[in-house]
Structure 1
């Protein structure tokens, strides 16, 4: 069995998401009753879309990393915990035995919950199961017990399904993604911050009425409110902040502006291609459930990469870049210097948009809150994060004493699981975590419409 799992993990790692996901989509579509030709085309189209999305994200990553490095140099920021990006978290996830078992564990958890009708989500985003493995690996590190790590990974997989179900109606309506949910543990944990931010802003007279969504901005500012021009302007501002004293400042500033304008145009186009591939799969799933399960709803769980092409998600993320770099300077007790994972911010904020109807102002406030809390989570978790990464063979960057990442090092599920197990002990801690999830899930199941409305679902 271990040889099989090792081989399966190696195959998935080597092929990558852009090959594995189309294969999974093809077989899922066939099982759901789609014709082989349609299923094949859907898989290939989705794979092409993800390649395009990754290329655009790569452009954004390179641009933002350069700007961030320039800002850090200009402002002489020095911290002993360096953000080295999500690859460090992935190294931890697959560097322990938890990573070896996470795929079958997550699949079994998903199938059991589907059979008992506890979830509507079929999570086919196997590549991102590594988030469950990371959380389980951190629990394994603090407990030195593989079984505890595996159980934690299983609970994390269930948590992702709960968050996906809870937010599905909002995601489907706002992003026009019928039959889709997002069980992605970089994005879904932002929902509580969005709910709190909405509640807080609604208490402030005048401010609560501010409407700063892309459509309103475009109507008010005309061509200068179009997403592409917004990207250009934001890019130019970031370029000035980073490269004002560079040798070829004008060139660097203009390139930054054009690169981010390109991101604003190309990401939505890539998501449109993705939707072209998803439509036949979604239709086949609906027909399958209509014939065999009394029209029971089933959601296809996908990567939140399909959300980040929305202008509100990109715009708020780009505005947050200089803000969070400033936060790293002014937050008392913070030890984290942001750098490599700044391009992950769109994934962090993407779930804010449905709850806030694309209100960029509210999304920025929620992002400040989540990432502000994240600095303290990352500072606290950095010693464990660093130790786990070194044990997994991750190469420490020169001059860094400790490392972290926004992708998982800043997020509350990893912190919560690790601290509960560490403080209460393995068995009791895991029982408490599982019990909390069950209680929340039962409350949701009693009145799903009320819960989904809180998470941004439209009125029926």
Structure 2
């Protein structure tokens, strides 16, 4: 029975967020008493918005990933823990024995928290439940206990939902995305360290006065400060560091300029579909629960990476990450698969920094350094999970890990606490 349920859920999840989210939004719209036609329009519009967003993300990752990997190869970095990236991490999570159980449990936990007013986030980003499942998989690999694994995954989910509530105002204030939160663990988990780092940097003499947000740069340099031109320049710079020929340098430059230009437009399409659902939800809850007119729709972190300051910060952090892997004593992680996910890591940190690229890069450098150490530390249990999932070891690697999930602060802390009682 459990195997059948797992197979059904896996088949549903394999449809991807561009199918799951429209379906979920349609059902939510009906629940909040929207007309079926209006709920369907909202769902389809959001689906189209996410199709556009993921097309742009694919453009980003498809160009940034190979350039970053070429950079690693040119530097001759040789470390024995390979960063396998989030796709492999997700496949490891979904292969966990608790995956089929946790999906309905995770939804129930979210509903209970909404009813008890312990969260304002209605998390429709079901596909990214894999982060919670991965935490549970860590515990299962060490204890062989499904019960302990589920409890660990629930704790992780609760923490993420609370942080999603806390950071939602920054999405509205800086990115202009109201009524939305980000319960994507790989983004939220950088908040507890990232926000204090930004706060500290903003009090350092001289550095605190360096004003380098996208708007200021554009005001000072005109066209040469516009997002599209900054994207072209930074992309071309990465192409040079990667050792590309002239054609390759121009190609990646234009691709990064396109990412900066197109992403905000894709997000605006998404919001066109989301706003009616958010309004219906607020009206419904306000009629039934006093003081409950505030609800956030929890979406994939992809909605937050389109701002020019986020992309600029991420592009600057790619070569910095490779350099850190070389010079940090004790680091054994070779950055590879997750170099292209750096925009997701820093998006909320950039928002908290008010888009200041200098402050964001400084904070991001420390965040990445800490992630390299955490991912190195968790490599043995990460590798054990990979073996359970029958993941093939990369050539030349003795262990595997990932910046995204292995270097995830909240998961690392939870695992360290949990391991004290095993």
Q: Would the alpha carbon gap of residues 73 and 11 (structure 1) be closer, same or farther in structure 2, given more than 3 Å must change?
A: closer
Q: Does 1:371 align with 2:374?
A: no
* C-alpha separation in 2, matches of 1:264 and 1:39: 30
Which residue does the alignment assign to 2:210?
210
Q: Does 1:417 align with 2:404?
A: no
* C-alpha separation in 2, matches of 1:231 and 1:202: 25
My pick for the range that moved more, 221-230 or 183-192, is 183-192
* C-alpha separation in 1, matches of 2:124 and 2:72: 39
Q: Would the alpha carbon gap of residues 417 and 235 (structure 1) be closer, same or farther in structure 2, given more than 3 Å must change?
A: same
Which residue does the alignment assign to 1:263?
259
User: What does the per-residue CA deviation read over 1:391-420, in whole Å, with 9 as the maximum and x for residues that have no partner?
Assistant: 112222222222122221111122112221
Which residue does the alignment assign to 2:37?
37
SS at match of 1:403: strand
Which residue does the alignment assign to 1:439?
none
Judge conservation of contact 2:202–2:359 (CA < 8 Å) in 1. no
- Could you tell me how far 1:193 is from its partner in structure 2? 2.4
Q: For residues 119-198 of structure 1, what are the structure 2 equivalents within 5 Å?
A: 119-198=119-198
Judge conservation of contact 2:198–2:349 (CA < 8 Å) in 1. no
* C-alpha separation in 2, matches of 1:322 and 1:24: 39
- Could you tell me how far 1:354 is from its partner in structure 2? 2.6
- Could you tell me how far 1:424 is from its partner in structure 2? 2.6
SS at match of 1:58: helix
User: What does the per-residue CA deviation read over 1:313-357, in whole Å, with 9 as the maximum and x for residues that have no partner?
Assistant: 111011101110111111111111111211211111111133111
SS at match of 1:334: coil
SS at match of 2:122: strand
Any unmatched runs of 5+ in structure 1?
A: 426-460
My pick for the range that moved more, 279-288 or 6-15, is 6-15
Any unmatched runs of 5+ in structure 2?
A: none
Which residue does the alignment assign to 2:116?
116
* C-alpha separation in 1, matches of 2:25 and 2:342: 27
Q: Does 1:323 align with 2:324?
A: no
My pick for the range that moved more, 2-11 or 261-270, is 2-11
Judge conservation of contact 2:123–2:297 (CA < 8 Å) in 1. yes
* C-alpha separation in 2, matches of 1:415 and 1:321: 23
Number of corresponding residues = 421
* C-alpha separation in 2, matches of 1:3 and 1:80: 35
The root-mean-square deviation of aligned C-alpha atoms, in Å, is 1.5
Judge conservation of contact 1:142–1:418 (CA < 8 Å) in 2. no
- Could you tell me how far 1:308 is from its partner in structure 2? 0.6
* C-alpha separation in 2, matches of 1:233 and 1:410: 30
